[in-house]
């Protein structure tokens, strides 16, 4: 084995090891969210929080004029002829190109079942019929971590699409991690439709967009290529929504298509690097969001427990108040009734004897005098009044002692379990995955 070949083989081996670590990290994060029993999405839902599971791959949306070389680029990246190229514009739709265990083509309906996050596309009329998925077994480059979305080529004029292309592309732009815009030197490099769409996408997702001058081998000599580039950049800069300082537009072409033997520089590796960078960023963001989501869940649990302990102490006070009012409500009317009966020497208390009654009314002082002023014919009203007061006091006691529901012991236990799970189990898993990621990425830089 020659030195160079050996070097390349070991680089490839390292590359596939990196890929499998990255794949594993994204897969494990995904399942931490989606497990049916213990998944974070389900846990959060129980706490009134809606979480989105991270995706296992990044999505690259390819847009550009008809025949700009989008499908050819995908075939080159995948190293398999998955997408037909040079297709008539009328037959073009959206295609998802992704890796899987066996080569397969799926219809629109199957695609939307397979990728539930694309489900809203169904609402755009007619799209489902023009949607396919190509699953390839290729493991080339970083393909196992990428889903390409190939879009219909855009042209100006009366061309009628069987569905709202602009709306669909804009919607896909919201979901994509990267948006590649291909401009080709021949054909309609400056199609208005493409420019309008790019302007709109740029408005929302400037950081995801990358511009490329595709099929650069067909641009002629270096001076012609420069001129084409200038024209495109000028046209782009005319759009207020696209006026950036300095346009970066690598020139690329599919190496084996350079039939004319053009010697122009090919920056197609830049595209691969961009994809790789985005994968790495996605892994970091996914791990960071995992930590944030754990914290968010733990915070909600803390909050619920704190509120519950406040409610419990409010309940305790209410119960005490209720008991107090209840006691007064019973005692006060009884005392009033007793003093009334004693003071008025009512028949009911005559058994106590005249002397005792006289002494008692003497001790009752002004209260006895007040009771004695009540004419005998009103006595029943006084008694009814006192009973009424007693009833009112008891009602107050009932209201004062009303309590709010608190968590049962079982509920509290399950909340604490949730907190422990996210703070310990999930976080330590995240820590481990981060370490694996860093170890591998440091190793990459060592190469
Ligand atoms: N010379 C050259 N031809 C290319 C290149 N990429 C694509 N083509 C050709 O351009 C035509 C349109 O390419 P295709 O990938 O179907 O474009 P799409 O409509 O953007 O998907 C096909 O005939 C391809 O063979 C390239 O980099 N160099
Ligand atoms: Mg195509």
Give the pLDDT confidence of 59-113 residue by residue, as tens digits: 999 999 888 999 999 999 999 999 999 888 777 889 999 999 999 999 999 999 9
The neighbouring-strand residues paired with 106 are 133
Q: Which residues contact 31 (CB under 8 A, 6 or more apart)?
A: 39
Q: Which residue has the higher pLDDT, 247 or 238?
A: 238
Q: Percentage of the chain with pLDDT > 70? A: 93
Residue nearest to atom 28 of ligand 1 (CA): 215
Residues flanking ligand 1, CB < 6 Å: 64, 66-72, 85-87, 153, 215, 217-218, 253-254, 257
Closest listed ligand to the CA of 181: 1
For residue 13, the CA-to-ligand 1 centroid distance in Å is: 31
Tally of CB atoms within 10 A around 249: 16
Question: pLDDT tier at 2 (50, 70, 90 boundaries)?
Answer: very low
Nearest CA to ligand 1 atom 6: 69
Q: For ligand 1, what atom is nearest to the CA of residue 253?
A: 27
CA of 305 from ligand 1 middle (Å) equals 62
- Model confidence at 224, in pLDDT bands (50, 70, 90)? confident
pTM of the full predicted structure? Answer: 0.81
Please provide residue 131's backbone torsions phi and psi, each rounded to the nearest 5 degrees: -125, 130
Nearest-angstrom CA–CA distance, 210 and 178: 8
| Residue 24 structure tokens | 């594993």
Say how many Å lie between the CA of residue 375 and the centre of ligand 2.
107
74 C-alpha to ligand 2 centroid (Å):
9
- Band of pLDDT at residue 169, cut at 50, 70 and 90: very high
As a whole number of angstroms, the distance between CA 60 and CA 142 comes to: 12
Question: What is the CA(94)–ligand 2 centre distance, in A?
Answer: 9
Q: Would you list the DSSP string of 362-429?
A: HHHTHHHHHHHHS-GGGHHHHHHHHHHHHHHHHHHHHHHT-------HHHHHHHHHHHHIIIIIIHHH
Query: What is the arithmetic mean of pLDDT over 249-253?
Result: 92
Q: 142 CA distance to ligand 2 centroid (A)?
A: 21
User: Of the residues 70, 72, 257, which should be mutated to test ligand 1's pocket, given the most ligand atoms within 8 Å of the CB?
Assistant: 72
Residue with tokens 């002397």: 355
Q: What is the CATH number of domain 57-266?
A: 3.40.50.300
- Band the pLDDT of 8: cuts 50, 70, 90: very low
Instruction: Return the ligand 1 atom nearest residue 85 CA.
Output: 16
Q: What is the pLDDT of residue 311?
A: 95
pLDDT, one tens digit per residue, over 26-44 is 999 999 999 998 899 999 9
pLDDT of residue 244: 67
Q: What percent of the chain has a predicted confidence (pLDDT) above 90?
A: 53
What value does the mean pLDDT take over residues 167-177? Answer: 94
Return the structure tokens found at 203: 């408005």
Q: Which of 30-34, 274-278, 436-440 comes out lowest in average pLDDT?
A: 436-440
Name the pLDDT band for 193 (thresholds 50, 70, 90).
confident
Distance 352 CA to ligand 1 centre (A): 118
Rounded distance from Cα 7 to ligand 2 centre (Å) = 36
Confidence of residue 14 (pLDDT cuts 50, 70, 90): low
Higher pLDDT, residue 445 or 338: 338
Mean of all residue pLDDT scores within the chain: 87
Amino acid 189: pLDDT? 60
CA-nearest residue, atom 8 of ligand 1: 69
Q: Identify the nearest ligand to the CA of 66 by its number.
A: 1
Distance 32 CA to ligand 2 centre (A): 37
Going by alpha carbons, the residue nearest to atom 5 of ligand 1 is 215
pLDDT, mean of residues 432-437 = 94
Tens digits of residue pLDDT in 363-380:
877 877 787 787 878 878
- The preferred substitution site among 60, 71, 85, 258 for testing ligand 1, maximizing ligand atoms within 8 Å of CB, is 85
- Give the pLDDT score at 18: 66
* SS3 of residue 59 by DSSP: strand
Residue among 189, 269, 262 at smallest CA distance from 232: 189
What integer pLDDT is reported at residue 266 of this predicted model? 92
Q: Three-state DSSP class for 348?
A: helix
Q: How far is the CA of 87 from the centre of ligand 2 (A)?
A: 6
**354: number of Cβ within 10 Å:** 9
- Which ligand has the minimum distance to the alpha carbon of residue 73? 1
For residues 412-423, average pLDDT: 95
Number of the ligand 1 atom closest to the C-alpha atom of 258: 1
pLDDT attached to residue 4: 46
The region of weakest confidence among 7-16, 18-27, 193-202 is 7-16
pLDDT in tens, 320-358: 988 988 888 888 778 877 887 777 777 777 787 788 877
Which residue's CA is minimally distant from atom 26 of ligand 1?
A: 215
Q: Given ligand 1 and candidates 63, 69, 78, 191, which is best to mutate, with the most ligand atoms within 8 Å of its CB?
A: 69
Residue 264 is predicted with a pLDDT of 82
Ligand 1, atom 7: closest residue by C-alpha = 69
Question: Domain extents for the chain?
Answer: 57-266
Mean pLDDT score, 185-211: 85
């Amino acid at each position: 084995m020659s030195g160079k070949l050996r070097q390349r083989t070991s680089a490839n081996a390292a590359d596939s090891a990196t890929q499998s670590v990255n794949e594993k990290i994204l897969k494990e994060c995904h399942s931490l969210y989606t497990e049916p029993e213990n998944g974070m999405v389900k846990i959060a839902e129980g706490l009134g929080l809606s979480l989105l599971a991270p995706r296992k791959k990044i999505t690259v949306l390819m847009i550009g004029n008809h025949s700009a070389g989008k499908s050819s680029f995908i075939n080159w990246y995948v190293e398999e002829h998955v997408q037909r190229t040079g297709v008539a514009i009328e037959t073009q739709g959206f295609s998802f190109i992704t890796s899987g265990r066996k080569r397969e083509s799926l219809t629109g309906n199957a695609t939307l079942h397979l990728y539930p996050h694309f489900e809203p596309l169904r609402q755009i009329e007619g799209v489902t019929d023009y949607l396919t998925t190509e699953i390839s077994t290729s493991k080339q480059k970083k393909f196992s971590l990428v889903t390409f979305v190939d879009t219909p080529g855009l042209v100006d004029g009366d061309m009628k699409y069987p569905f709202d292309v602009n709306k669909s592309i804009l919607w896909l732009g919201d979901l994509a991690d990267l948006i590649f815009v291909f401009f080709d030197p021949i054909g309609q490099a400056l199609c208005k439709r493409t420019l309008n769409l790019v302007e709109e996408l740029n408005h929302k997702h400037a950081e995801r967009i990358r511009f490329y001058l595709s099929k650069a081998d067909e641009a002629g000599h270096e001076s012609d290529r420069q001129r084409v580039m200038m024209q495109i950049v000028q046209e782009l800069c005319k759009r207020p929504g696209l006026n950036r300082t300095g346009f970066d537009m690598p020139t690329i072409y599919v190496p084996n298509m350079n039939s004319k033997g053009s010697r122009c520089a090919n920056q197609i590796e830049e595209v691969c690097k961009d994809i790789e960078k985005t994968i790495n960023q996605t892994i970091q963001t996914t791990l960071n969001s995992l930590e944030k989501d754990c914290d968010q869940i733990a915070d909600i649990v803390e909050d619920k427990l704190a509120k519950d302990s406040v409610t419990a102490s409010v309940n305790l006070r209410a119960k005490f108040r209720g008991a107090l009012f209840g006691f007064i409500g019973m005692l006060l009317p009884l005392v009033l009734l007793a003093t009334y009966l004693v003071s008025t020497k009512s028949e009911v208390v005559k058994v106590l004897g005249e002397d005792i009654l006289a002494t008692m009314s003497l001790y009752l002082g002004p209260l006895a005098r007040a009771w004695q002023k009540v004419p005998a014919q009103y006595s029943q009203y006084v008694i009814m009044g006192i009973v009424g007061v007693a009833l009112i006091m008891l009602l107050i006691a009932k209201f004062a002692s009303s309590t709010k529901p608190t968590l049962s012991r079982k509920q509290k236990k399950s909340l604490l379990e949730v907190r422990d799970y996210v703070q310990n189990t999930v976080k330590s898993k995240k820590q481990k995955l981060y370490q694996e990621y860093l170890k591998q990425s440091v190793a990459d830089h060592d190469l």
